[in-house]
Chains A and B, each alone.
Chain A
Amino acid sequence: MYAQMVKTGVDHIQSKEEMSPEERAFQDRVDQDIKIEPKEWMPEAYRKTLIRQISQHAHSEIIGMQPEGNWITRAPTLERKAILLAKVQDEAGHGLYLYCAAETLGVSRDELMEQLNSGKAKYSSIFNYPTLTWADIGAIGWLVDGAAIMNQVPLQRCSYGPYSRAMIRICKEESFHQRQGYDAMTKLARGTPEQKQMAQDALNRWWWPSLMMFGPSDAESVHSAQSMRWKIKINSNDELRQKFVDQTVPQAEYLGLTVPDPDLKWNAERGHYDFGEVNWDEFYQVIAGNGPCNRDRLRTRVKAYEEGRWVRDAADAYAAKKAARTKAKAA
């Protein structure tokens, strides 16, 4: 997902008997679906895991602006240009909501940015793939936003209040993005032979990386189990991936496009599609920094941040001068 393989720092799931009274009271609230708010007591591991998860999500929104931003100046019509610009702008907005949500847990946006820029913090593997043609913009909206929604809709119900509320706002916009992406793909799939080929090529390249977004199977992971107990993760990675495949394959068929998986087959008994094995070696390589665009993405981000420093400093200096003048006047 936008947050992949988030570690919780625990090595086993505590039973209620092992918990301190505070921990037990906390878990009871979570079990009763009562939202946890910033000023309330929470286990340190819960707080740290949430910071990791929310900031990874925020970083993904910010880095995710690059692959799509790559086509803003080349969008094929004024309307498509406006839609794409508004979409990338929404991603900046999502990043802001999420950094604000993370800040309620006692970490500053600057600290988080620093972690991203130094390469210490992770962001979703998907944004390390290049956007080579216009069809990639449609494919990202359709597949990548589609996959993101799968995870984010359940997270609207997550236990941490500020994160849950950020998700509610974000989901509204994401579903609009997904529809726009599918609409752009439809235009291509129904267009000239070259356009249709462009659409098929984009599907070929984005299909597997989209499945990787859900992360490796976590049925055995103690971290996932802990996160689910805390209700900051609602479904397992495999459940979400299956749901995504089941939803997306008929959409591809409707477009007359072929999903690039020879093992893809409807399984009537299971009531789900069977599909081939994801290349997890590739996934781990991308996570380790060896995807096609990792270096460019990070360099671009660092460059914007560093080149913007004097502007942020000037804004601070001006605000301080203004405040001093107001104070002097009042005195």
Chain B
Amino acid sequence: MSDIASRVKAIIVDKLGVDENEVVPEASFTNDLGADSLDTVELIMEFEKEFDIQIPDDQAENIATVGQAVKYIEEAK
């Protein structure tokens, strides 16, 4: 697993209180990992802080799964 993927996973485990094994690339934050609308906003903010990037709202809307988050961050870095 890439460094970015493992850091993303750690944030998700911490913020959503889920088991590490559940955080697979295809897992949806809302459908699979129990996130609500506020959790997803918080996750995006944590990604921004951890990776020192800005994720505009219109792009944040397209980040719905673990894999999409990792891909977005890899491209933004």
A is bound by B: no
